[in-house]
Amino acid sequence: RKEVEQDPGPFNVPEGATVAFNCTYSNSASQSFFWYRQDCRKEPKLLMSVYSSGNEDGRFTAQLNRASQYISLLIRDSKLSDSATYLCVVNWVDSSYKLIFGSGTRLLVRP
Amino acid sequence: DTEVTQTPKHLVMGMTNKKSLKCEQHMGHRAMYWYKQKAKKPPELMFVYSYEKLSINESVPSRFSPECPNSSLLNLHLHALQPEDSALYLCASSQEGAQTGELFFGEGSRLTVL
């Protein structure tokens, strides 16, 4: 099993749609979870951290399910500018400096 | 604009060349990272410096040699690379450990080895 696993997509959705991505992780002791966004030929940028209680930032909602070892990202009212690759990132518990990146889920929002 | 600056943005080198990638941040971050990213793949951790000391080396071949001259600078020295080393090399920094804080990435240095 991969350490962090994501559906590569692409998810092709119309503007205004709601889309959800899941990510599973293998290490039950992981404590920190993040979603990063990477535009084509650009560097990754933090989209949001994922907290145990779930968190929301505008149109974006992140959830953590420790029992099933997955995190999710929900995007409501998709915009063209949301088109990007969304990377699920999990810390590796033997080092506070080590983050494991999932392979990313590509989102295409069409007019 | 990113607050982590990487130079050069593009580099083409032969297998016998010696070159260096440079990274600079002035956010007072105490951890700095080198990641390698191939096309359509996620970033892979190579090295981590914490308080100017090498704390993680992910079994990277010795043809890649990191250096942290001070808390703001991180270099990656390249020597006798192979064509399969062609990739985007991303530098990142964080306040303390990546576990608790955001990683700030530079725009990357795109390396082509002929």
Among all residues of chain A, which has the CA nearest to that of B94? A97
> Which amino acid, one-letter code, is at B104?
F
pLDDT on residue B100: 62
pLDDT on residue B98: 60
Nearest to B43 by CA among B87, B96, B95, B100: B87
pLDDT on residue A1: 66
pLDDT on residue B99: 60
* Arithmetic mean of pLDDT, A81-106: 88
Q: Determine if residue A77 is left, alpha or beta; phi over 0 gives left, psi from -120 to 50 gives alpha, anything else beta.
A: left
DSSP 3-state assignment of A36? Answer: strand
- Given a cut of 90, whether residue A63 has pLDDT beyond it is yes
pLDDT on residue A84: 97
pLDDT on residue B21: 98
pLDDT on residue A40: 92
Among all residues of chain B, which has the CA nearest to that of A4? B42
Beta carbons of B99 and A42 less than 8 Å apart:
no
pLDDT digits (tens, 9 = 90+) for A21-53: 999 999 888 888 999 999 998 999 999 999 888
* Arithmetic mean of pLDDT, A5-27: 95
What are the backbone angles phi and psi of residue B85, rounded to the nearest 5°? -80, -5
Nearest to B42 among A42, A87, A97 (CB): A87
Whether cis (ω within 30° of 0) applies to the bond prior to A10 is yes
What are the backbone angles phi and psi of residue A82, rounded to the nearest 5°? -80, -10
* Arithmetic mean of pLDDT, B44-67: 92
Contacts of A103 in chain B (CB under 8 A): 41-42
| CA–CA distance, B98 with B2 (Å, rounded to integer) | 17
